[in-house]
């Protein structure tokens, strides 16, 4: 699994305004900004991301994924640029 492959999987399942993935092939960190996160608790947001990975997460192709999941408003509040 590469960062590009992981980014493609997440982007295919979520409409992201911003998506950054980095890691070493086993341990990953993703910053994901999506309007679909509005009104959802962090655990629900993470479940949405895990759902996009499907079998890849269950088969341990994605071993460890840490995430920062934000709404566009939360992203903007951190001083990040709007896309």
Residue pLDDT, tens place only, 36-81: 999 999 999 999 999 999 888 778 778 889 999 999 999 999 887 6
Number of domains forming the structure of the chain: 1
- Asked whether residue 58 is domain-assigned, the answer is yes
H or E stretch covering 57: helix 55-58
- Asked whether residue 8 is domain-assigned, the answer is yes
Measured CA to CA, the distance from residue 69 to residue 49 in angstroms comes to 9
- Whichever domain contains 17, its CATH number is 3.30.300.90
Residue 47: per-residue pLDDT: 95
- Residue 55, by phi and psi: left (phi above 0), alpha (psi -120 to 50) or beta? alpha
- Asked whether residue 83 is domain-assigned, the answer is no
Which DSSP symbol is given to 80?
P
Which residue range forms the structural domain that includes residue 73? 3-77
Q: Which of 33, 41, 40 is nearest to 14 (CA)?
A: 33
Contact 50, 70 (CB under 8 A): no
DSSP-based three-state secondary structure for 82: coil
Q: pTM higher than 0.85, yes or no? A: yes
Q: How confident is the model at residue 82 (pLDDT cuts 50, 70, 90)?
A: low
- Asked whether residue 71 is domain-assigned, the answer is yes
Residue pLDDT, tens place only, 1-39: 899 999 999 999 999 999 999 999 888 999 999 999 999
């Amino acid at each position: 699994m590469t960062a590009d492959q992981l980014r493609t999987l997440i982007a295919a399942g979520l409409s992201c305004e911003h998506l950054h993935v980095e890691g070493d092939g086993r341990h990953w960190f993703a910053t994901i900004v999506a309007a679909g996160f509005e009104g959802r608790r962090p655990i629900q947001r993470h479940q949405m991301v895990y759902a996009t990975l499907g079998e890849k997460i269950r088969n341990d192709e994605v071993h460890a994924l840490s995430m920062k999941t934000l709404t566009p408003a939360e992203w903007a509040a951190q001083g990040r640029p709007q896309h």
